Structure 1
Amino acid sequence: MSTALETGVMSGQVSLAVSTVVFALRPHPASGAMTLWLPLVRRIREPYDGRWALPGGPLEAHQDLAASARQTLQATTGLESAYLEQLYSFGAVDRSPADRVVSIVYWTLVRADEDDAATNGPNVEWFVADEVPELAFDHNDIVRYALGRLRAKITYSPIALAFLPAEFTLAELRGVHEAVCGRCLDPANFRRQVIAGGTVMPTGTHLTGTSHRPPALYRAARPEEKKR
């Protein structure tokens, strides 16, 4: 299993590593409100022996970047998320105390049904994303960057849909926005903005099993349906 190893193959040589930031929505342990969580891996060797780090490892010669990220994700959490995107590259000269390492960082957003299948491997633990401890290397900077990117992108793109099943209510979509941004949103304004944005479409069906008026179900708009 990958253990966030980031050491060069030879002193003085630049090596490549692939790390993955995994975001899932879970209740906060204190407030119970839905918030962002991510898994971290405890390092079992120097540098930073015993410190938490993002899942990752050196890029193997036989793997492409995305395959390496997916392998790390599956090995550490048992997850095979449908959403995987390259986030950024981190290559400060002093980011690793042993050798020069450039990390290609991916991020993945996990749906609730995918999260239900998550497993905790050896030395793996989930943390509230805004409350991670002091991490190895520059991984605190990477987590902050990923959080900032997600919170910015959710305001202008349909990225929130990656946390949801194929069909969802507008209340569930608003809940994702509130969990990611950490603030309450006015339901009427949110509904108006989402409908005007044209990124979701009604399915023509309603949520079943509710005691009140069943809410309408929506889905992601197909490319030809999106408003230009």
Structure 2
Amino acid sequence: MSGHAAFAVTVDLAVFTIRDGIFSVLLVERGTEPFAGSWALPGGFVEADEDAETAAWRELREETGVERFEGHLEQLRTYSAPDRDPRMRVVSVAHVAFAPDLPAPAPGSDAANARWWAVEDLLDGGPDAPPLAFDHATILADARERIRAKLEYTTLAREFVAEPFTLPELRRVYAAVWGSPPDLGNFRRKVLGTDGFVVPTDTHGVSASGGRPALLYRRGEATDIQPPMLRTAGEDD
């Protein structure tokens, strides 16, 4: 329509996993301008024959070599500040993903490099953390909060422990994502009191400290935690 400036639509992906106990996000080093040499979330322009999700998976594969995976993926929000991209007016449909056992990336397309970064270093002032291109620091912070909240009211954390598992192993998943472990009493009440969150087995693990071995569990069928397991102790009831 006349009187309306043209604009482009892009996708950006905040892809999270836990690597060696550390909550990590996938970044690419940009090989072209703008922001050549800067680190950014994987992403790019939506083609005329694509929807946003199709473009997101394509850009992830082209820039990092990571193929479509089983795991949690959802739209985060739309970022549309007029000056967010120096090339032209660009609106980004950001996505957030969280999945276990994701592979080491390999740069491709217009990415000069690709690697996993500790989220805490990027957002909380790690000494070697690079500034991110565009408004990707804002997108990353929003995406981290979305995943942190997701663990409050869903059983998604179970996907990051190998069966059978102990409750301390499951609690370490929350500690990695939240930045600190949940209150022990509240954690046990929620996990053991939510029908289908975990299912006890008839076996115990090996105790490293010589104490009583912990009971082993497997995943149940529940997907929601109600009331949620809030990060601040005492606010769940």
Q: In the alignment, which residue of structure 2 is the partner of 1:81?
A: 69
Gap change, CA 1:82 and 1:61, over 3 Å in 2 = same
Q: In the alignment, which residue of structure 1 is the partner of 2:18?
A: 25
Q: In the alignment, which residue of structure 2 is the partner of 1:177?
A: 174
Gap change, CA 1:98 and 1:226, over 3 Å in 2 = closer
Gaps of 5+ in 1: 1-11, 28-33
What SS does structure 1 have at the residue aligned with 2:50? coil
Gaps of 5+ in 2: 123-129, 228-237
CA distance in structure 2 between the partners assigned to 1:176 and 1:82 by the alignment: 18
Q: In the alignment, which residue of structure 2 is the partner of 1:118?
A: 104
CA RMSD of aligned residues (A): 2.7
Counterpart code for 1:128: A
Gap change, CA 1:138 and 1:173, over 3 Å in 2 = same
CA distance in structure 2 between the partners assigned to 1:128 and 1:226 by the alignment: 27
Q: Any conservation in 1 of the 2:104–2:115 contact (CA below 8 Å)?
A: no
Gap change, CA 1:195 and 1:65, over 3 Å in 2 = same
1:118-157 alignment, distance < 5 Å: 118-121=104-107, 122-132=112-122, 133-157=130-154
Gap change, CA 1:222 and 1:56, over 3 Å in 2 = same
1:140 deviation in Å?
0.5
1:1-228 alignment, distance < 5 Å: 12-27=5-20, 34-75=21-62, 76-83=64-71, 84-111=73-100, 114-115=101-102, 117-121=103-107, 122-132=112-122, 133-165=130-162, 168-198=165-195, 200-202=197-199, 204=201, 206=203, 210=206, 213=213, 215-222=215-222
Gap change, CA 1:45 and 1:88, over 3 Å in 2 = same
Among the aligned pairs, what percent are the same residue? 34
Gap change, CA 1:107 and 1:165, over 3 Å in 2 = farther
Give the TM-score taking structure 2 as reference length: 0.75
CA distance in structure 2 between the partners assigned to 1:50 and 1:198 by the alignment: 49
1:103 deviation in Å?
0.7
